[in-house]
Amino acid sequence: MEPSALHTSEWLSLSPLPTWVWWGAVLACGVSLGAGYWGLRRERNALMRRLLLGLRWAAAGLLLLFLLEPGQRSRTLAHLPGRIAVLVDQTASMQLPSRPGGETRMAEAVKVVRRLLEPSGERPESIELFGFGESLTPVNLASLEEETPKAEHTDLLGGLRALSQAAQGSKPLVGVVLVSDGADNTRLRHGMNAQAAEFLKGLQIPVSTVLVGEENLKDIAVERIQSDGFAFIRSKLQVDAGIRVRGFRGKKLSVALKSEGQLIASKEIQAELEDEVQTVSFEMTPDRTGRFVYTIAAEVFPEEVLVDNNERSFSLKVIRDRIRVLLVSGRPSWEERFLRGLLKEDSNIELVSFYILRNHDDATEVSNEGEEMSLIPFPMREIFDEQLASFDVVIFQNFGYTEPQLMVSLYEGNLERYLFKGGAFLLMGGDRSLGESRQGFQELARALPIEAAGRAEIHPFSPQPTAEGLRHPITALGKDGEETKRLWAQLPPLQGMNRTRAKKAATVLLEHPTLSMGAPKLPVFALWEYGRGRIAALMVDSTWHWAFTAHSTGAPSHIYERFFKNTLRWLTRDPDLTPLLIAADAPRFSTGKGVGASLKTRTADYAAAPHTRLSLELTSLEKQQRVQMLELETDAEGHAHVEFNGLEKGAYKLLARSLSSAEQESQDAFFIEPLGEERSSARVSSSLLKSMAESTQGRFFKSHAVSLKELPLNQPAPIEIDRSKDEPKWDKWYFFVLFLVCCILEWALRRRLGYV
Amino acid sequence: MKSALSLSRRQLLSFLGSTFLASKAWAFGESARWVPAIAQYAGRWDLRRSALRRFAYEVQRRTATEVVLEPVPIPLDSPRLFELPFLYWGGEGGFSPLEEGVRQNLRRYLEFGGFILADANGSGGGFEESLRREMSLLLPQAPMALLDTEHVIFKSFYMLSSAAGRMGASASLEACLLGRRAAVVWVPHDLMGVFARDAAGRFEYPVIPGGERQREMAIRLAINLVIYALCLDYKDDAAHLPALVRRRR
């Protein structure tokens, strides 16, 4: 359609003279007229005075006319047709059905676009198509039909902002059509706000909105889960789930918390409104450390438009809150005092301690012990029977058989079983322990990595790390072996040690520099795993010199702290210190994407375990069914990486086992979620799209009612379509003649009247 | 109950025996033992040197603590200070300001876990002022604070309701606290004076005003201070509190 022409003309000065010349001329004319008045002030003949002044006015006016050079400019203008931008929502929610059992929202959007593109002859504007999701991109009808919308965030304002910032075309943008389900989940998640309205007004373009999808769909969705992502073992944890219930007013439904296919808890809620989010809270107390996948599942009803969003998983890493340590000390000593100071300082340690402050033959000089002394009986049964399992680590510091009433022989069996089942024990030497004790341990001795081998060694010495000690995480305190040796060598010497022999399977990390029992040197610090438990033995009672005497030179040394904290980490199986470690690349994956997991193997003494053969089992926790089982071998660095593809949605557990050591295993869990936030809710929001249209003087349409003819559009500014023509209006001969006549006549009259 | 004021034959034998055994057993475990170190400085530092030996004996006799009986004089600027976490600092009369190097050594000693029992021997006579001056310079962040009888020092071994010494008793002690730990405890009543004996084994000084009962309470306070230095706030642990609160009532 040809644009209609519009002819216009306007007056203007054609003079090339600068402005100051004009003002000079106006001033000169003013002076001339003033002089004329002054000169004629005594003229009695009023007619003659008026005539003379009139002639001067006329001459001055004509002179200004010549200087201004007035003319007329003729132009031909036209309103060219603008362009209309059609923005189509390409986020994943457009995959959802527009109505129960109906076509997808995108299919409905395509119909809308097709209708807008139909040549109707009604509007001259051209139409440009854009898709918006993570970004704004030009699209065409074919790509809209073929490509699956999969952007994960609906940001309606972002799409419009990108359009306004895009390069301007040759044609002015006169209107925008936004085709969407209105399920914004970013800035307009909660509807329109003043800031958004301000932005939309600032666009100065009518934005018409077209709703695709039906409102009032029936759907139940686990819309959100509030959980910290980690929890403390044996501590209560609350998980809140936001359940969106749409179209089930008055209906009761159950919501369940499951883990590894097992039901943990279930609650019933009743929908009170047509569309609402109810928060359901679950409490649970994890009893194992590690990573676990939990699922919140809401009841499914047949009339729901979408059932995939009825459940949602989350991953929880269960960690130790505080290591519960039992410290039993044979008597007050500096060794006990500095160890207590260290353990009490650490907020991650809950210390329960019992010290033997008085022996039965000590003379306390009191008549009423219960009143005058602060001693309490050592609660042997309570500690070693009832409470034993609650401790993560038990430490015996210089505690042995010295007192008849403190014989732990009745409870040795308990201790041994506690260790075999996964407990941890640190035996620290002294003059009441091991070979210095009146009586050795019996059942407990089986669990120890060393055995007493005579009376104590009495001379001061500096322990040195063994080859295993140079790489074990407890004793490898330097960046490399040399630094580790140097750090140990610079510590104050220890004052004697219990003489022991390391058992065959034990790992000795620190040894006496010279003394030996046969070939190996005397062990100073040794450890091993007993059943599922971990046990370490330190054959000295003077490590407090590392904490105190080491500071005599003023150089801060934290070797004492690092040594004992590393020991506790190893004893409590800090996940970072296990010989076999498997970790999924992430706790959560999306369907269709590969799932990666890394494996790391180390020897018992923490060197990299190259070419270790491992089995890896992938289990679906919901189906309680093995999905994949494979064998693999780590590389020369003890590392391996595996990837699983084509896994369905759900929770999975990875279990890696060393094929050479049945005791070594590691596990991790992850889940695959088909639904991003986009597809977890069937929400359609007409109110948001209506508000947006109103804010911009646009119009809201339902998809079937969209009409190009009814789109409110801006009128484009007219543009010149032909060359303009300037016609001078001052260069006429009669203006010159008139000017001359005025000048001559004034001169002649003045002469006659005697003014010249 | 045997009186603590007389030295029985059994106790004497025990004393001698423990001395003998201690010297024999020093070989292993000595390092973890409590040693009565005595601060050596430019002042009257050794007025209670022999009393410290008797003090160590009482600690050995009454508690499970293994001790070294012989007091060890130690200059305040010595690096060997860091082998002796318990330091007795007694004296009478003022003393000149410590050098900055000495102060640095002591400051490090206290901050890394050392314990000082400061005690005015005899009538004091300027010692308290000098000691307070040094403490304010050593630990400006920890001015002397009152410890009432709720503090763990008053229940670390014996249940005590006052802080007694040879020259009197008070309802509280003063201490410089580093965090929650009392690093320096000040006793103004000549605590060590209650242990001093003459060559014949008789107590050297009378205890005023409370006599022998006050002496026993002072000995108990001294024992509590040693147990506190060795066990810190052990008696504040949750396992002990209910029983101790019951006994206080």
- The string of DSSP letters for chain B reads ---SSS--HHHHHHHHHHHHHHHHHTTTTGGGSB--EEEE-SSS--TTHHHHHHHHHHHHHHSS--B--S-EEEETT-GGGGG-SEEEEEESS--PPPPHHHHHHHHHHHHTT-EEEEEE-TT-TTHHHHHHHHHHHH-TTS--EEE-TTSGGGGSSB--SSEEETTEEES-EEEEEETTEEEEEEE-S-GGGGT-B-TTS-BSS--TTTHHHHHHHHHHHHHHHHHHHHHTTGGGSTTTHHHHHHHH-
- Give pLDDT, residue A711: 86
- Give pLDDT, residue A224: 85
Mean pLDDT of A652-680: 81
- Neighboring chain B residues of A548 at a CB cutoff of 8 Å: 82, 85, 112-114
Range name among A87-91, A208-212, B27-31 with the lowest pLDDT average: B27-31
Query: Residue A417: enclosing H or E segment and its boundaries?
Result: helix A409-420
- A347: contact with B, CB 8 A cutoff: no
- Neighboring chain B residues of A400 at a CB cutoff of 8 Å: none
Residue A552 to residue B33, Cβ atoms within 8 A: no
Closest partner CB to A551 (pick from B82, B158, B181): B82
Relative orientation angle of helices A686-695 and A194-203, to the nearest 10 degrees: 50
* Domain at A577-673: CATH code: 2.60.40.1930
- Give pLDDT, residue B42: 92
Closest C-alpha among A463, A446, A582 to residue A511: A463
Q: How far is B9 from chain A (nearest CA, A)?
A: 14
Residue B66 to residue A431, Cβ atoms within 8 A: yes
Mean pLDDT of B167-193: 94
Instruction: Please write the tens of the pLDDT for every residue from B47-78.
Output: 999 999 999 999 999 999 999 999 999 999 99
Mean pLDDT of A384-411: 83
Does position B9 have pLDDT exceeding 70, yes or no? no
Between residues B28 and A355, which one has the greater pLDDT?
A355
Mean pLDDT of A127-150: 88
In order of A296, A493, A754, B103, B110, the CA distances from A549 in angstroms are 57, 10, 129, 17, 12
pLDDT band for position B152 (cuts 50, 70, 90): very high
Residue B34 to residue A332, Cβ atoms within 8 A: yes
Range name among A37-41, A456-460, A544-548 with the lowest pLDDT average: A37-41
Query: Residue A334: enclosing H or E segment and its boundaries?
Result: helix A334-345
- Neighboring chain A residues of B3 at a CB cutoff of 8 Å: 365
Mean pLDDT of A338-350: 91
The CATH fold assigned to A83-215+684-710 is Rossmann fold (3.40.50)
- A357: contact with B, CB 8 A cutoff: yes
Distance from C-alpha of A716 to C-alpha of A719, rounded to nearest angstrom: 9
- A497: contact with B, CB 8 A cutoff: yes
Nearest CA in chain A to B65: A332
pLDDT band for position B197 (cuts 50, 70, 90): very high
Closest partner CB to B32 (pick from A341, A430, A553): A430
pTM of the model: 0.61
Nearest CA in chain A to B216: A365
pLDDT band for position A629 (cuts 50, 70, 90): very high
Relative orientation angle of helices B127-138 and B100-111, to the nearest 10 degrees: 70
- Give pLDDT, residue A167: 55
Q: Which residues contact A138 (CB under 8 A, 6 or more apart)?
A: A128, A129, A130, A131
Residue B231 to residue A495, Cβ atoms within 8 A: no
Residue B86 · residue B68 · CB < 8 Å: no
Could you report the predicted ipTM of this complex, rounded to two decimals?
0.89
Does position B142 have pLDDT exceeding 90, yes or no? yes
Residue B21 · residue B29 · CB < 8 Å: no
- The Cβ of residue B44 has, within 10 Å, a number of other Cβ atoms equal to 16
Distance from C-alpha of A344 to C-alpha of A50, rounded to nearest angstrom: 116
Instruction: Please give the class, per CATH, of domain A323-359+377-571.
Output: alpha beta
User: Does domain B9-248 correspond to CATH entry 3.40.50.12140?
Assistant: yes
Phi then psi dihedrals of residue B191, to 5 deg: -60, -45
- A553: contact with B, CB 8 A cutoff: yes
Does position A705 have pLDDT exceeding 90, yes or no? no
Does position A257 have pLDDT exceeding 70, yes or no? yes
Residue A365 to residue B62, Cβ atoms within 8 A: yes
Fold agreement (A219-320, A323-359+377-571): no
- Neighboring chain A residues of B62 at a CB cutoff of 8 Å: 358, 362-365
- Neighboring chain A residues of B238 at a CB cutoff of 8 Å: 352
User: Does domain A219-320 correspond to CATH entry 2.60.40.10?
Assistant: yes
Residue A552 to residue B81, Cβ atoms within 8 A: yes
- Give pLDDT, residue A662: 63
Domain boundaries, chain A: 5-78+724-753, 83-215+684-710, 219-320, 323-359+377-571, 577-673
Q: Return the top range by mean pLDDT from A208-217, A252-261, A520-529, B230-239.
A: A520-529
- Give pLDDT, residue B14: 41
pLDDT band for position A14 (cuts 50, 70, 90): confident
Instruction: Please write the tens of the pLDDT for every residue from A392-405.
Output: 999 999 988 666 66
Domain boundaries, chain B: 9-248
Residue A462 · residue A570 · CB < 8 Å: no
Residue A496 to residue B27, Cβ atoms within 8 A: yes
Does position B13 have pLDDT exceeding 60, yes or no? no
pLDDT band for position B93 (cuts 50, 70, 90): very high
Residue B216 to residue A436, Cβ atoms within 8 A: no
Tell me the sheet residues that pair with A186.
none
Phi then psi dihedrals of residue A403, to 5 deg: -120, 130
Alpha helices in A421-558, H assignment, sequence order = 443-447, 481-489, 544-547
Residue B82 to residue A354, Cβ atoms within 8 A: no
Closest partner CB to A363 (pick from B61, B112, B114): B61
Instruction: Please write the tens of the pLDDT for every residue from A549-600.
Output: 998 887 667 899 999 999 998 998 887 777 888 989 988 888 778 899 999 8
